Amino acid sequence: MKIHFQLWLIFSSTFIVVCLALYFVVSTSYEQRLKAGYEHVSITQGSSILGQLVGTYPYSPNRSTGYLQTYNGQLNSRLIMLDEDKNVYSDSFGQLQPNTTLNLAILAQDTVPVSLFSKTDAFGYVQHTLIPFQTGEHEGYLLMIQEANGLYSELKSFQTWMVQALLIAVFAFFFLSYFISTWFSKPIRQIIVHLKNITPQQRTFSLKRKRRDEIKELIDAIEKMVGELKQYDERQRRFLSTSSHELKTPLTTMQLILENLPYVRESEENHREFVQDLSFQVEKMKQMVEQLLQINRQWDKPLEQEALFAEDIEQHLRQSFQHLADAKQITIEFELDPIQLSVDRASFLLGVDNLVSNAIRYSPIGQNVTVSLKQENDQSKISVCDQGIGISPTDLPHIFEPFYRSNEATAWNQEGTGLGLPIVKQMVERHKGRIEIDTAPNQGTCVHLLIP
């Protein structure tokens, strides 16, 4: 069921329940007020005649009967005097013998005066009113029996009017709730229409809403998500295009070498040079493919954060890069504060490896590479600094693009693939961190990773 009709059903059902509760409360209250009014009138009428009756009790039942018959017509009631045991003393109709025991619910009431209303088959609704009196040392009761059809006719009339009014209100609210639910669910239907218009060829979502509410937040979130998907698609297309081109270059070189290899067999020096070039291109392509796989694996792999200490970082980097640094007479210096990181160990060390590898690769012989770790507020700052060729301002905005290599970097070292820094950026983004770079051409570069 659509949310439009769900809201309509909820609104209408809620209003019907409220109307039923209102009907029950108001009808009950009105009935109680009517009964209280009838009770007050009966007690007042009965009390007004007790002055004549008490003088005949308990010694003159015949005189009491005469008085009762006189007031019987005036009050339009059957009047019965009861003794202190609530047995019949005198009956205005003359039908009940003295000392007759009556089986009436009102006689069981402890609180008097009181009225009770009941329905009978012969007379319809009847009101019984019991009023106590006392003469000398003797107690007695006056029982008044009156028809109460007028009370229930008035109550039924009121209930009928109230049902009609509530039915009109229900039907009015039924249509009103339809328009309310239609208006309320309109933005959702608009969102669905716009979402259905999104295709792989056209990833755009634009829906205007002036009110600042949850629907507006939902629209903004969807718009942001669609924009990110569009950027992701564009990055993927650029990545596929660039990677295809970059992979094609070593393949073309390898093909040329293989085609010319038979013609240089007679020259051992040329043959060795061709084989070395072929081996270099194979190794470069292997490294490129491995780094591409690393990028894809990192996005699919869940982040498993664990404790990583400063001494673990230093030990790992010495084992991985000390021999490369020694080959170029480069000194790796460590300035690590004794702090603990909470990171994905494999992903984090892979990113740092790429920074240290670049620092050694693009540093002149005999220079220093510094790795530092410091605590800054609620972030850990990992820095890798070299004294190498630096990065020019024109190249700086592009260094995190896959396969991007500046002319200076390519001229300095042919082994790079242009995938190291994208791997670093990917690692930092997965850890919700950021990257800062301090660099100057021919003066060196410092890459700072700030991890929460």
The predicted pLDDT at position 379 comes to 86
pLDDT digits (tens, 9 = 90+) for 315-344: 888 888 888 888 888 888 888 888 888 888
Given a cut of 50, whether residue 414 has pLDDT beyond it is no
CA distance linking residue 334 with residue 136, whole number of Å: 116
SS3 string, 355-394, reads: HHHHHHHCCCCCCEEEEEEEEECCEEEEEEECCCCCCCCC
Q: Write the burial class of residue 332 (CB in 10 Å: 0-12 exposed, 13-18 middle, 19+ buried).
A: buried
Given a cut of 90, whether residue 23 has pLDDT beyond it is yes
Given a cut of 50, whether residue 386 has pLDDT beyond it is yes
Q: How many CB atoms lie within 10 A of CB 3?
A: 13
Given a cut of 70, whether residue 300 has pLDDT beyond it is no
Highest mean pLDDT among 50-64, 121-135, 219-233, 290-304: 121-135
Under the banding of pLDDT at 50, 70 and 90, the label for residue 389 is confident
Under the banding of pLDDT at 50, 70 and 90, the label for residue 409 is low
Instruction: For the chain, list the domains and their CATH numbers.
Output: 3-155 (3.30.450.20), 301-451 (3.30.565.10)
The predicted pLDDT at position 164 comes to 95
The predicted pLDDT at position 296 comes to 63
pLDDT averaged over every residue in the chain: 83
Under the banding of pLDDT at 50, 70 and 90, the label for residue 404 is low
Please give the average per-residue pLDDT across 334-356, as a whole number.
85
The predicted pLDDT at position 416 comes to 57
Please give the average per-residue pLDDT across 272-285, as a whole number.
79
The predicted pLDDT at position 245 comes to 58
Query: pLDDT above 90 covers what percent of the chain?
Result: 22
Q: List C-alpha distances in Å: 128 to 88, 281, 451.
A: 15, 114, 88
Write down the pTM of the prediction: 0.51
Please give the average per-residue pLDDT across 248-253, as a whole number.
73
